[in-house]
Amino acid sequence: MDTLWIFNPENDIALGNNLRFFTPPRNAMLLRERGAMLPAWIAGDGDIILTSNPADADWLHKMADTLKKNIEILTPGNAVRVSSIRPWGWSHAIVESLARVGLSRHIMPDLERIERIRALSHRRSSVIINRRLAEAGFNAPVPIEFSDIGLLEKHLKGHQDVVVKSPWSSSGRGVIYSSKMDMTRLLSLARGIIKNQGSVLVEPMLDKTIDFAMLFNIGDNGAEYIGLSVFNTLAGGNYSGNIVASEDCLADIIGGYAGRQCLERLKLSLAAILTELIGDAYSGVCGIDMMIYKDKDEVPAIAPCIELNLRHTMGYVSHCLARDILAPGKTGEMNVSYIGNVSKPTLPPCQPKFDSDRRLTEGTLSLIPQNPDFAITLTVK
């Protein structure tokens, strides 16, 4: 209660830029503005959301029965009630922008903690986590970090089908596939990343079967497991949606490839690793992206840490939707799509239907106010 929520999906890009005053790319800013109400599905009763669109208050009023909670828009009148702040993610840029609207810096991480969060959000954390998982007996592919373009070129000549990643990136940005370009172009892109962010990380290209994640909450008791997230990405790596279902259902999907006992061992190991690694630098939700892939013998295997997302994730939104909105026994899909301003003929979505507890049983529920740019929906068929 009295927590302020902010949807700032551009935060990973802001961490890479590391500027107090930061202008996101146009599409990232559009998603932030159009999706400002997305935190309503994860916020608590009596919480507050920051938005630049006053009309969002009408949407919250209309959705009150489905949300099953009262949420307000931030105004000068209720700003004094804000006792804690939960952005999608923390960076110098979000701290500065919130201070400019009059919120106290005392309820935000200080500069030192932001730097610690930024350091932990570096893809170097995946190297640390995978090494510790390997020590715990897991087969964990470990990325290699390069800050010297000559050493990178030598490595690439000896390794085909690799993925080159920038230290900080968002939704597929800064991810380069060697199979999609020649060496000259790849090295040119890598040189630019090294110049701007100090290094690149290289890992083998895996024959992916399915993307998933484990969600944790970081608090006074360390890292505590929340649940699984099974999600979809486009060919370029951009996030497109999540399966919304019970934990048992998601565990059955992933356990069918890797075994549920392996998942149990993995979550216990990661909880211990994250508790030690993160300490008191960050509090709140985080996610470890993973992958089921086929090894050289075509046997399913887990890549147990693709990256650490030290922020809220769409997977956590899906977890809350399954917990609070989805009817028992149902499975749904949460989808994020760019509509654009060009009018396209589409079939109207099936109207949402609810049971007596106001839980979705059928149809499509819009999770944000309708707009000409982005759609975020939950669909049950």
Q: Tens of pLDDT along 92-104?
A: 999 999 999 999 9
Q: Are 174 and 165 in contact (CB under 8 A)?
A: yes
Task: List alpha helices for the chain, DSSP H.
Answer: 11-17, 26-34, 56-62, 64-67, 92-100, 111-121, 124-135, 149-158, 183-197, 247-258, 260-278, 314-324
Supply the CATH classification number for the domain 206-318.
3.30.470.20
**What is the rounded average pLDDT of the residues 173-188?**
90
Q: Where in the chain is the domain with CATH 3.30.470.20?
A: 206-318
Domain 144-204: assigned CATH number: 3.30.1490
Q: Where in the sequence of the chain do the CATH 3.30.1490 domains occur? A: 144-204
CA distance 363 to 353: 6
pLDDT above 70 (res 347): no
pLDDT of 234 reads 83
For residue 215, which of 134, 290, 303 has the smallest C-alpha distance? 290
> To the nearest 10°, the Cα dihedral for 233, 193, 160, 140?
-60
Q: How far apart are CA 121 and CA 118, in angstroms?
A: 5
d(CA 311, CA 90): 7
Worst-scoring range by mean pLDDT, 274-278, 348-352, 365-369? Answer: 348-352
**Which tokens hold the place of 367?**
């999770």
Residue-wise pLDDT tens digits, 182-207 = 999 999 999 999 999 999 999 999 99
Minimum mean pLDDT among 26-40, 69-83, 161-175: which range? Answer: 161-175
Q: What is the mean pLDDT of the chain?
A: 93
- Which pLDDT does position 220 carry in this prediction? 94
